[in-house]
Amino acid sequence: MTTRGEDLIRRMAAGDREAFGPFYDRYAPLVYPLVVRIVRDRTDAADVLQDVFWEAWQGATAYDPARGSPEAWMITRARARALDRVRALRRRSETFVPAVDEAPAPAGAGGDAAALAGDRGLIRTALAQLSAVQREAIELAYYAGLTQTEIARRLEQPLGTIKTRIRLGLERLRDAVRRVT
Amino acid sequence: MTSDHDVFAELAAVYAVGALDGDDLVRFETHLAEGCQRCTRVLAESREALTRMALAEPPAPPPAEVKTALLARVREEEPRPPRRPHSRASWVPWAAATAAVAVVAAMLSGGTVASRYEARLGQMARETAAARERLQRNEAALREEMTVYRSAVELLRDPATRVVELRGAGPSPEARGRLVWHPTAGGHLVVANLPPAPTGKGYELWTLGGPAPRPAGVFQVDASGRAIHRVEPAPGAVAKFAVTLEPEAGVPAPTGPIVLASR
């Protein structure tokens, strides 16, 4: 059984330009909020978004459904590129921290918006089951790109404590996601 | 399963969120490379779970101009020969190219902290592990790439290693370069924004320090202006580096314009 997303990627891998538009429409609304959260600036986020989708177009042949969902494929790539951008910006200006410019989001931004909104609520519920310190450690790693040593230093906790928080938090997250999906 | 494996369960979690560093990273990657199915499964599940977490961000509409720009780029791209997904022929160069782009980006973006490179290597080791499974023996190209990256990371750990910036000069002011250089081990030159050399030409690296510039190899950049060039150690002290445009076979002494130079 193949999903619509997998089908689009397969067509892109075969060089079908017509598949790119629907692919973008399907995944850009999923990927963009993560990129915004990581880079915090909408102009930078737009650049990163473009890079991410261009890479997906060019690298579609490498997608292997056995190794993960199209969502994971895109989200993993988006996170990596967004963190690259943040690191580059941080070096350019060590002190400049832009505020997040929050804009209200219109309803129905993506093809699966309604389904996603439902999922979103469920995942939020799942995330609420993580303790505050578990969630903090996972978020510092995932969204801020800090390593375990950097997290331990920042939170002034022993490295072992940080590792344990990440493991327990991720176990709960996996369990919760398993129940939801 | 024995409780010995609990250590790896913890490392797997930290690895999954991209935060493993130092000796832990090496230890876990070795464990993974030995083919631990349990950890492989945990990583895949974690990746999907983290994806769900990322998808739970408040919605934000992507800017319309991004789609417009991308559609134009896709439309204008030269037609590609159709390729079979996951075939050997297409997968290896793609993986190598992606890995190369990732490493070039990491090296050029300047974090000289070994852990950052290791994080990259972590991803690449995973890719390599998967490639091994699929390609069986045909991963020579990837192995070669990995060797380059591993040795770059090892070099960065050595206090004798210098990181030398090269600036664009003459015809290519936008070009940038960074050379990870060790006096006895040699190093790697990473280049970006250098226009591909005209037909019949190539870029030649020179080490400066003796009475005359010494040739240190000819390289080509890819279509996006990037290159990684292995540099053999040079006899005697090396103070500076420069790159000139030369005939593609290389010349014993520089004749063309300087396109990149260290200060």
Q: What is the 3-state secondary structure (H, E, C) of A6-21?
A: HHHHHHHHCCCHHHHH
Q: Are residues A68 and A141 in the same domain?
A: no
Q: Are residues A171 and A134 in the same domain?
A: yes
**Do A69 and B63 make contact, defined as CB atoms within 8 angstroms?**
no
**Do A167 and B53 make contact, defined as CB atoms within 8 angstroms?**
no
Q: Are residues A14 and A55 in the same domain?
A: yes
pLDDT at A117: 61
Q: Are residues A84 and A137 in the same domain?
A: no
Give the residue from A67, A87, A149, A168 with the most B CB atoms within 10 Å of its CB, the best one to mutate. Answer: A67
**Would A134 be classed as within a structural domain?**
yes
pLDDT at B225: 84
pLDDT at A95: 45
* CATH assignment of the domain containing A60: 1.10.1740.10
- Chain B nearest-CA residue for A173: B49
**Do A61 and B82 make contact, defined as CB atoms within 8 angstroms?**
no
User: What confidence category does residue A109 fall into, taking pLDDT thresholds of 50, 70 and 90?
Assistant: very low
User: What confidence category does residue A93 fall into, taking pLDDT thresholds of 50, 70 and 90?
Assistant: low
ipTM surpasses cut 0.95: no
Cα-based angle B176, B177, B181 (whole degrees, multiple of 5): 165
Residues of chain B numbered 45-64 and touching chain A (CB < 8 Å):
45-63
**Do A57 and B74 make contact, defined as CB atoms within 8 angstroms?**
yes
**Would A148 be classed as within a structural domain?**
yes
Classified as helix, coil or strand, B156 is: helix
- Domain end marker among A66, A94, A122: A94
Phi, psi for residue B259 in degrees, rounded to 5: -110, -20
User: Is there a contact between B61 and A45 (Cβ–Cβ < 8 Å)?
Assistant: no
Neighbour-count burial of B233, counting CB atoms closer than 10 A to its CB (0-12 exposed, 13-18 middle, 19+ buried): middle
First and final CA of chain A: distance in angstroms? 17
Provide mean pLDDT across the span A78-91.
87
Residues of chain B numbered 181-210 and touching chain A (CB < 8 Å):
none
- A104 to chain B, closest Cα gap in Å: 8
- Domain end marker among A94, A120, A155: A94
**Would A106 be classed as within a structural domain?**
no
**Would A135 be classed as within a structural domain?**
yes
**Radius of gyration for the alpha carbons in chain B, expressed in angstroms and rounded:** 21
pLDDT at A178: 82
Q: Are residues A8 and A40 in the same domain?
A: yes
**Would A90 be classed as within a structural domain?**
yes
**Would A99 be classed as within a structural domain?**
no
Q: Are residues A55 and A140 in the same domain?
A: no
DSSP state of B2: -
User: Is this prediction's pTM over 0.90?
Assistant: no
Q: What is the pLDDT of residues B186-209, one digit of tens each?
A: 888 888 889 888 888 999 999 988
DSSP chain A: ---HHHHHHHHHHTT-GGGHHHHHHHHHHHHHHHHHHHH--HHHHHHHHHHHHHHHHHTGGG--GGG--HHHHHHHHHHHHHHHHHHHHHHH-SS--PPP---PPPS--STTHHHHHHHHHHHHHHHTTS-HHHHHHHHHHHTT---HHHHHHHHT--HHHHHHHHHHHHHHHHHHHHHH-
Residue type (1 letter), B94: W
- In sequence order, the 6+-apart residues with CB closer than 8 A to the CB of A15 are B79, B80, B81, B82, B83
pLDDT top residue among A63 and B82: A63
Provide mean pLDDT across the span A19-25.
95
- In sequence order, the 6+-apart residues with CB closer than 8 A to the CB of B175 are B166, B167, B168, B169, B191, B192, B193, B194, B225, B259, B260
Cα-based angle A111, B18, B156 (whole degrees, multiple of 5): 135
pLDDT at A46: 95
Provide mean pLDDT across the span A3-20.
91
pLDDT top residue among A168 and B188: A168
Q: Which helix (H) or strand (E) holds B126?
A: helix B114-135
Q: What is the mean pLDDT of each run of 10 residues along chain B (263 residues)?
A: 77 95 85 86 92 87 93 83 48 56 58 54 69 58 66 76 85 85 85 88 91 91 84 82 92 91 88
Say whether pLDDT at A164 is over 90: yes
Quick one: what percent of chain A has pLDDT higher than 70?
Answer: 82
Q: Are residues A3 and A81 in the same domain?
A: yes
Provide mean pLDDT across the span A92-105.
44
Say whether pLDDT at A91 is over 70: no
Residues of chain B contacting residue A117, judged by C-beta atoms under 8 Å apart: 59
pLDDT at A105: 39
Q: Are residues A34 and A121 in the same domain?
A: no
Interface size A-B, in CB pairs within 8 Å, comes to 209
Provide mean pLDDT across the span A47-70.
91
Q: Which residue among B16, B66, B123 places its CB closest to the CB of A46?
A: B66
User: What confidence category does residue A53 fall into, taking pLDDT thresholds of 50, 70 and 90?
Assistant: very high
Say whether pLDDT at A156 is over 70: yes
pLDDT top residue among A28 and B162: A28
Q: Are residues A84 and A118 in the same domain?
A: no
Classified as helix, coil or strand, B181 is: strand
User: CB contact, 8 Å: B7 with chain A?
Assistant: no
pLDDT at B70: 94
**What is the number of residues in chain B?**
263
Q: Are residues A81 and A131 in the same domain?
A: no
Q: Are residues A80 and A28 in the same domain?
A: yes
**Would A102 be classed as within a structural domain?**
no
* CATH assignment of the domain containing A126: 1.10.10.10
- Domain end marker among A49, A64, A94: A94
For A131, the domain range is 112-181
Quick one: what percent of chain A has pLDDT higher than 90?
Answer: 58
Give the residue from B55, B77, B127 with the most A CB atoms within 10 Å of its CB, the best one to mutate. Answer: B55
Tokens (6 digits) for B156: 């960065």
**Would A178 be classed as within a structural domain?**
yes
pLDDT at B188: 86
Residues of chain A contacting residue B47, judged by C-beta atoms under 8 Å apart: 68, 72, 76
CATH classification code of B162-262: 2.60.40
What's the total number of domains in chain A? 2
